[in-house]
């Protein structure tokens, strides 16, 4: 059946097919209205079929909620007289509809019907449910801005692969991408930089033109609503206390003004770990509380990501105000000062019914009980967090940073980072084997990260993300055997059909045979290549 991700149980009931035509009705039970709308809008556009309300139709698609199934689990049965889709909840039913779409063939992924197509479903019975509840993708829209239409497109691509968390990296040294009404300079100043460095850190050249953009609050509301219709949760990231030069450029009082003249700072135009970090002052705390008040009103997600990574402490060591704060709080050092900063926002978010999540550096100096950890520097942070009783999302850079190169060949465009092939991603295991059964329960799931220092447009994002995101989606959803025992040859066989789905969706993926001529190393705007792995 060539389904991706692979279902738990799937079997053909018999030879033959169920044919769909203009008379095929759609019967939507209570609680299924959202999925019915999606089926009529999306499959209706691709097939040209109206899917009218089922009454006396000989053939019908029946949608229902069956509480006995897991919330994201589903059952799909196709017989000669119709198809029945049942989900444990609306999300499970939606994933059943995504499977139905795959069964219809690649042209079901188009936006308008092609002439001469006949629509048939194989006679099958499928029972399925996900392994993890957090099946995520990070999109870094701070380094290179992705317009709203691109984000909506990626939500559709995520839904097609049964991924359910979009981690939206909204702020960094190189750009602030979300409108904050009470602090308009964050986008007036912080959303644009004068130029952008080609390639990566060692590159000596810049593209001498402004780059930027931001999402209005209505844009964010639209993105969140569009995601919710596809059962995807959008988790915002607002970086503190490092990765903050864009905010300091807009509001210089946020920086360590007793160490440097922050009024001379602009939005950063290069990559790397930036020494200009937020000052640990009450002014900074109140400012970011104001930011987060507006963020919480826009994003209903349980989790809010605060970054917390790669925060150099040199300015704090030299800052009389920072040292006075350390003494006032009775802290041991600057690491504990960062921990105090993170704990403040953990308490603030908890009081508002939300949960803080941050990169694994937030473990340094101690972590508040309710906080969760995104483990990016390998498995170590996730293991330490789970053993300390913290929930974890596994996203180690060595396995699932999709901006890293896909092949050691010289023709890879801007071949930065570790070589991670399609097979490498397919053999990624999110749960470290050294965790006990109780500790492993703290692994909420896993996430693939797409950082955009060298991904200047949607075609470059597509090339880095696909087809590896399809392999990652199977790892996140399916209950696969141990990495060494996984049937990668079988996965490649199913990908032969999946590439045609990606073609229909217009995804500029890396072909299995290697880059197309226009995707090769010399063709990326003439940009030079360098070697160091990317940083966040």
Cα(132)–Cα(442) distance, rounded to whole angstroms? Answer: 11
Using an 8 Å Cβ cutoff, are 471 and 487 in contact? no
Using an 8 Å Cβ cutoff, are 32 and 64 in contact? yes
Cα(421)–Cα(140) distance, rounded to whole angstroms? Answer: 21
Which letter, b or e, does each residue of 458-474 get, where b requires 16 or more Cβ atoms within 10 Å of its Cβ?
bebbbbbbbbbbbbbbb
Confidence of residue 364 (pLDDT cuts 50, 70, 90): confident
Using an 8 Å Cβ cutoff, are 337 and 331 in contact? yes
Fold of 9-128: Chitobiase; domain 2 (3.30.379)
* 3-class secondary-structure state, position 78: strand
Tell me the residue length of the chain.
536
Confidence of residue 15 (pLDDT cuts 50, 70, 90): confident
Using an 8 Å Cβ cutoff, are 217 and 233 in contact? no
Kindly report the average pLDDT of the chain as a whole number.
Answer: 94
* Active site (catalytic) residues: 172, 243, 310
Q: Which pLDDT value is given to residue 108?
A: 98
The token pair at 49 is: 């079929």
The token pair at 156 is: 């559709």
Give pLDDT tens digits for 410-468.
888 877 888 999 999 999 999 999 999 999 999 999 999 999 999 999 999 999 999 99
Peptide bond into 466 cis (omega under 30): no
Query: What is the domain partition of the chain in residue ranges?
Result: 9-128, 134-523
**CATH class in words for 134-523:** alpha beta
The larger pLDDT score, comparing residue 411 to residue 296, is at 296
The token pair at 474 is: 């199977």
Give pLDDT tens digits for 216-245.
999 999 999 999 999 999 999 999 999 999
* 3-class secondary-structure state, position 69: coil
Sorted by sequence, the CB contacts under 8 Å of residue 56 that are 6+ apart come out as none
Q: At what angle do helices 334-350 and 320-329 cross, to 10 degrees?
A: 70
Strand 60-65 versus strand 82-87 pairing type: parallel
């Amino acid at each position: 059946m060539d389904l991706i991700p692979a279902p738990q149980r799937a079997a053909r009931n018999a030879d033959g097919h169920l044919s769909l035509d203009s008379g095929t009705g759609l019967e939507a039970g209570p609680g299924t209205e959202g999925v019915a709308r999606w089926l009529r809008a999306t499959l209706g556009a691709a097939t040209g079929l109206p899917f009218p309300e089922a009454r006396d139709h000989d053939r019908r698609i029946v949608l229902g909620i069956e509480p006995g199934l897991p919330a994201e689990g589903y059952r799909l049965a196709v017989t000669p007289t119709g198809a029945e889709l049942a989900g444990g909840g609306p999300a499970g039913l939606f994933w059943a509809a995504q499977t139905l779409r795959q069964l219809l063939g690649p042209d079901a992924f188009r936006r308008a019907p092609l002439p001469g197509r006949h629509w048939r479903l194989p006679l099958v019975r499928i029972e399925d449910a996900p392994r993890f509840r957090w099946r995520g993708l990070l999109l870094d829209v701070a380094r290179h801005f992705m317009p709203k239409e691109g984000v909506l497109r990626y939500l559709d691509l995520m839904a097609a692969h049964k991924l359910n968390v979009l981690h939206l990296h909204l702020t960094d040294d190189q750009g602030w991408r979300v409108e904050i009404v009470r602090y308009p300079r964050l986008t007036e100043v912080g959303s644009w930089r004068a130029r952008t460095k080609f390639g990566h850190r060692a590159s000596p050249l810049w593209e001498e033109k402004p780059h930027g953009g931001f999402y209005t609050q209505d844009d964010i509301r639209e993105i969140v609503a569009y995601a919710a219709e596809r059962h995807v949760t959008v988790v915002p990231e607002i970086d503190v206390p490092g990765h903050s030069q864009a905010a300091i450029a807009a509001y210089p009082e946020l920086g360590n003004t007793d160490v440097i003249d922050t009024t001379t700072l602009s939005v950063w135009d290069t990559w790397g770990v930036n020494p200009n970090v937020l000052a640990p002052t009450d002014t900074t705390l109140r400012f970011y509380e104001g930011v987060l008040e507006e963020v919480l009103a826009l994003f209903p997600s349980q989790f809010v990501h605060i970054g917390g990574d790669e925060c150099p402490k040199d300015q704090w060591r030299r800052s009389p105000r920072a040292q006075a704060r350390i003494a006032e709080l009775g802290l041991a050092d600057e690491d504990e000062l960062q921990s105090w900063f993170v704990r403040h926002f953990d308490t603030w978010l908890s009081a508002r019914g939300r949960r803080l999540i941050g990169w694994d550096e937030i473990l340094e100096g101690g972590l508040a009980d309710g906080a969760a950890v995104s483990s990016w520097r390998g498995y170590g942070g996730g293991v330490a967090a789970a053993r300390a009783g913290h929930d974890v999302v596994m996203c180690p850079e060595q396995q699932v940073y999709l901006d890293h190169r896909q092949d050691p060949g010289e023709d890879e465009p801007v071949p930065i980072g570790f070589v991670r092939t399609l097979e490498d991603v397919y053999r990624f295991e999110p749960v470290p084997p050294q965790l006990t059964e109780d500790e492993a329960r703290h692994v909420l799931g896993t996430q693939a990260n797409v950082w955009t220092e060298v991904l200047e447009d949607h075609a470059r994002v597509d090339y880095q993300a696909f087809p590896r995101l399809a392999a990652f989606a199977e790892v996140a959803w399916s209950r696969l055997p141990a990495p060494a025992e996984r049937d990668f040859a079988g996965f490649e066989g199913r990908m032969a059909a999946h590439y045609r789905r990606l073609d229909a969706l217009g995804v500029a993926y890396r072909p299995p045979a290697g880059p197309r001529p226009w995707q090769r190393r010399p063709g990326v705007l003439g940009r030079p290549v360098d070697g160091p792995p990317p940083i966040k």
